[in-house]
Amino acid sequence: MRKKYLLEISVESVEAALAAERGGADRIELCDSLSVGGITPSAELMGAVHEHVGIPAFMMIRPRPGDFVYSAAEFDAMQKEIESAKKLGMNGVVLGILDSGCQIDVIRTRELVGLAHPLPTTFHRAFDECGDLLQGLEDVIRTGASRILTSGRAPTALEGAAMLARLVAAAQSRIVIIPGAGINASNVAEIAEKTRAREIHSGLGSTLPYWSRDYKKFEAEVRNLAQVLSRLP
């Protein structure tokens, strides 16, 4: 039976990916340096996750921390990272490019989406820096991306729930809106109810520090999230 909700968990190690899988995650977002929002993981990490983890893994494509306006050299690096993701068996990519006016860089994003094909592309929380999120939604749709990860331009998804609900309604069946930021077992039901989103993203940073190596606790927190989602209508 198809699950009503999909739970994506961001991780930066094989151990965390395995813990997320045991806890009931449906997909992982594989990154390095989650403490700065995540950057591209190493080829070694991608290969190890592909070998040992059974659930789909989407790879972060972000050459550096900081803003999302990239130079020609950085854009070239992103292209190479996408090619590496495909060769190493990743199931999707996660990226975001803005122009100097903090709007979606439609042309270059579309180029990366095309390069990633047939892997699906998630446009990450660079989206939240757009001045007009509803226009940003239309721009991302034009790129061919499959999903948008967003907090509704709020510090947390719960605080941004009203905007997230507007985005979900506007997106209809054209693209998937994934709430993320500050989501845990204590608030995920309220976020799901208010936004009507069917995919949920969490790094559990509001529950556990990113540097924690307590994978049993991480697994338990993922399981708590998954169990709450499994009980929702």
Cβ count within 10 A of residue 100: 8
CATH number of the domain residue 76 falls in: 3.20.20.380
Q: β-strands 92-95, 57-60: how paired?
A: parallel
Asked whether residue 43 is assigned to any structural domain, the reply reads yes
Residue 1 included in any domain:
no
Count structural domains, the chain: 1
Domain assignment present for 89: yes
pLDDT in tens, the chain (233 residues): 567 999 999 999 999 999 999 999 999 999 999 989 999 999 999 999 999 999 999 999 999 999 999 999 999 999 999 999 999 999 999 999 999 999 999 999 999 999 999 999 999 999 999 989 999 999 999 999 999 999 999 999 999 999 999 999 999 999 999 999 999 999 999 999 999 999 999 999 878 877 778 999 999 999 999 999 999 99
Range of the domain at 112: 6-230
Is 72 a domain residue?
yes
Within a domain: 49: yes
Residue 80 in any domain: the answer is yes
Alpha carbon distance 34, 16 (integer Å): 12
- Best CA proximity match to 109, nearest among 119, 121, 101: 121
Whether 10 is covered by a domain: the verdict is yes
- Burial of 9 (C-beta count, 10 Å sphere; 0-12/13-18/19+): buried
